[in-house]
Amino acid sequence: MQYELIIFLFALIFITVMSIWVRAPPFFTLLAGALFYGLLAGMEPDQVIIAAIGGLGKVFALFAVIILCGAVIAKTLQAQGQIEGLVADLEKRTSNTHALSGLAGYLFAIPTACCITAFVMLTPVLERLSRVGEKRKYLYLAAVGSVLSYTLIYPTPVVIPLFSGLAGGTSPLIFDLVAVPLSLLALGAAVFAFRARSRKGGNGGEDAGNTTAGGGIHWRAWAPFLAILASIPVFWLAIPLSHESMIQCIMIAGLLTAMVLGTPEARNEGLNRGMKHAGIILFDICGAGAFGSVIVASGFSEEVFPGISVALPLVLIPFSFTAIIQAAQGSRVVSAIIASQVLAGTAVAASMHPVPLILSVAAGTCVISYLSDPYFWLLQRTTGGSVGEVVRNYTFPLILCGLFVLAVAVLLQAALGAV
């Protein structure tokens, strides 16, 4: 066990160096990490390459349609200036700009299939809503909100691979009945903490106010999201599909709605910019598929997890393993893909109920959002804050949220495991 674990840690160090200091693109970093690990683990070169290609292709098949649809929907709405309409509708229903910012990030990260895409779309809108000196807090809250929904709510690219590998037949709707209120509770706590700090800082906790009162709802802007929601019962009940098939169909429904309602110019811009954006994301997560597949093919799970099970409580193993991967390379989707591939079929996964198991892995993707996380550096550039400021307003809140989710997973496992 020690030999395999040491090789795995060396591979993570290799990926970290390539990511942070060399600044190599994630796809090449992860593919090189797969080759590095496989050869050190004693696999034949041909075996390593075949395993890497297989994992790459499997992830592409699962995510290509989902990521493409989300990216094109986002870019089509952005091309028509409808992101402002979506935020305006939320603003009409709350005068609390802290809550508005967190909720906007939370909502938009799900249909766009990327928390960073949602943040980039929202940034210019939130900046216009902000008081002088308050812009940074609203942007941090939007980032925290986007990460919470992205890592906890089905269907997102983080949760989908966890369901494919670890759900064991559990319904995604049952999971969301737990995950949605849990994630909203964590977001509410973050909003409360940010508002309390604003009051302490002398702002009095006052928000920018309702600058867009009046008028109706921007239904055309909401239509792709509503189409996604409305199609879930159709493909779940009327046309029964597996969750892998259903997610493809509901994202296509959202895409078609955006295309039908969009102007010709917006459709063209959305398709062109969305396809380019989706391609970058897809290559990165396909690299994760290659790395995870090589780890599985090496026999890592059979050699290492039985020994870890003796050292750690059961529910902490998926969390700790995922957190280590997250710290090494920074992408939450990558962490989820690798964790689901490696954990699937192990005694650890077989011994846990699927809901706390998935929550434990999801918590691990949140808890270390630091220098290897591309979102960390995007926030630093966008807000103009110091590294310490980003840690206080992004890394630390997500650590607390991750630990909170882990605590719920522990309690659920204790309750469900006893049933």
pLDDT in tens, 51-70: 999 999 988 998 899 999 99
CA distance 162 to 304: 20
CA distance 116 to 7: 32
pLDDT in tens, 178-217: 999 999 999 999 999 998 887 776 554 455 444 444 557 8
Assigned domain for 210 exists: no
Assigned domain for 211 exists: no
Written as one letter, the residue type at 222 is: W
Assigned domain for 174 exists: yes
Written as one letter, the residue type at 135 is: K
Mean pLDDT along residues 272-290: 89
Element (H, E) at 43: none
Residue range of the domain that includes 347: 2-205+216-417
- Per-residue pLDDT at 212: 45
Cβ-proximal residues to 119 (8 Å cutoff; 6+ apart), any chain: 105, 109, 139, 142, 143, 146, 375, 378
CA distance 191 to 198: 11
Token match 């046309």: residue?
A: 239
CA distance 344 to 165: 6
**Which of 87-96, 223-232, 250-259 bottoms out in mean pLDDT, i.e. has the lowest?**
87-96
Cβ-proximal residues to 31 (8 Å cutoff; 6+ apart), any chain: 52, 56, 287, 290, 291
- Per-residue pLDDT at 271: 94
Mean pLDDT along residues 165-179: 89
Please calculate the CA angle 394-276-287 and round it to the nearest 5 degrees: 65
- Per-residue pLDDT at 205: 47
pLDDT in tens, 24-41: 888 898 899 999 999 999
**Cβ atoms 412, 178 nearer than 8 A:** yes
CA distance 395 to 297: 34
- Per-residue pLDDT at 234: 84
pLDDT in tens, 233-270: 888 778 888 878 888 999 999 999 999 999 999 999 99
Q: What percent of the chain has pLDDT over 90?
A: 50
Assigned domain for 98 exists: yes
Written as one letter, the residue type at 250 is: I
DSSP per residue, 201-217: TTSTT-----TT-SS--
- Phi, psi (rounded to 5 degrees) for 293: -65, -40
- Per-residue pLDDT at 413: 94
Q: For the chain, what is the domain count?
A: 1
